[in-house]
C-alpha cells in the first residue's frame, strides 16, 4: 500500500506502483495504475460510460520506475498521446507500449473537469478496483451486479448506497462473499 485517499470523509487505501496505467484519451492524464493487466482492462470496460481509457504499460517508458508513479500522484502525470492516437488501429490495441515515442511527463492534464470531479472519478476507480481485487472466486452474477453499479451510477453516495444494498441482498442468499463486501464497505460507510 502506498497511502490513503480521502473523499468527503471516506478514506481508502490505495495500491501503488502498478505498471499498467489507465490513461484518459481526451485529457491525457493517468487515472489509476494497477499491477494486473487483466484488471486494467476490466476497469476500462466498467468505466466506458464515464471515461475514454486506453491501457499503457508504463514499464515501456525509459523514465518510469515503480517508485515514480503511484495512485496518490498519478493524476499529476500524463502521456502525450500524439495527433494520430485516436485512429482506429491505435484505439483497438489492447495494451499500449511506448512504441510511438510518446512522452511520460509530470504535469497535471489541462482538463475541463474540476479537481473535485477528478477526485470523484478516481475514488470510483479505486473503490471498484479494491472491491474487485477482493472478489476473486465470486459468482459471475455478483461481479456483474457490482460492475453495473459503477457502469450506470455517477454520484458516489449513490454508488456506496447501492453497493451496501447489494451486499445486504446477497447476504439474504447466504452468499459468503457478500459478507466480505459488507465488511469492506462498513470500514468507511457513512
Contact 132, 143 (CB under 8 A): yes
C-alpha span between 170 and 153 (Å, rounded): 20
Domain span holding position 154: 134-186
C-alpha span between 190 and 73 (Å, rounded): 26
Pairing type for strands 20-24 and 53-57 reads antiparallel
Q: Note the pLDDT tens digit of each residue in 81-96.
A: 654 555 555 555 678 7
Q: Are residues 53 and 146 in the same domain?
A: no
124 found inside a domain: no
Q: How many CA atoms lie within 13 A of 7 on its CB side?
A: 22
Q: Are residues 77 and 171 in the same domain?
A: no
Cell numbers given for 10 = 471516506
Q: Are residues 97 and 163 in the same domain?
A: no
Mean residue pLDDT across the chain:
78
Cell numbers given for 105 = 511527463
C-alpha span between 119 and 31 (Å, rounded): 9
Q: Are residues 47 and 103 in the same domain?
A: yes
Q: Note the pLDDT tens digit of each residue in 53-87.
A: 989 899 988 888 888 888 888 899 988 765 455 55
Amino acid at each position: 500500500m502506498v497511502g490513503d485517499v480521502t473523499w468527503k470523509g471516506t478514506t481508502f487505501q490505495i495500491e501503488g506502483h502498478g505498471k499498467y496505467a489507465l490513461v484518459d484519451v481526451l485529457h491525457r492524464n493517468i487515472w489509476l495504475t494497477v499491477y494486473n493487466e487483466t484488471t486494467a482492462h476490466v476497469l476500462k470496460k466498467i468505466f466506458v460510460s464515464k471515461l475514454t481509457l486506453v491501457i499503457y504499460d508504463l514499464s515501456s517508458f525509459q523514465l518510469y520506475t515503480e517508485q515514480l508513479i503511484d495512485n496518490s500522484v498519478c493524476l499529476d502525470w500524463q502521456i502525450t498521446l500524439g495527433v494520430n492516437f485516436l485512429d482506429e488501429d491505435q484505439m483497438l490495441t489492447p495494451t499500449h507500449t511506448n512504441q510511438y515515442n510518446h512522452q511520460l511527463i509530470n504535469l497535471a492534464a489541462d482538463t475541463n473537469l474540476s479537481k473535485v470531479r477528478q477526485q470523484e472519478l478516481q475514488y470510483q476507480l479505486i473503490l471498484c478496483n479494491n472491491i474487485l481485487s477482493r472478489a476473486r472466486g465470486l459468482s459471475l452474477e455478483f461481479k456483474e451486479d457490482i460492475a453495473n453499479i459503477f457502469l450506470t451510477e455517477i454520484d458516489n453516495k449513490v454508488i456506496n448506497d447501492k453497493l451496501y444494498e447489494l451486499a445486504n441482498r446477497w447476504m439474504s442468499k447466504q452468499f459468503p462473499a457478500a459478507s466480505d463486501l459488507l465488511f469492506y464497505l462498513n470500514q468507511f460507510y457513512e
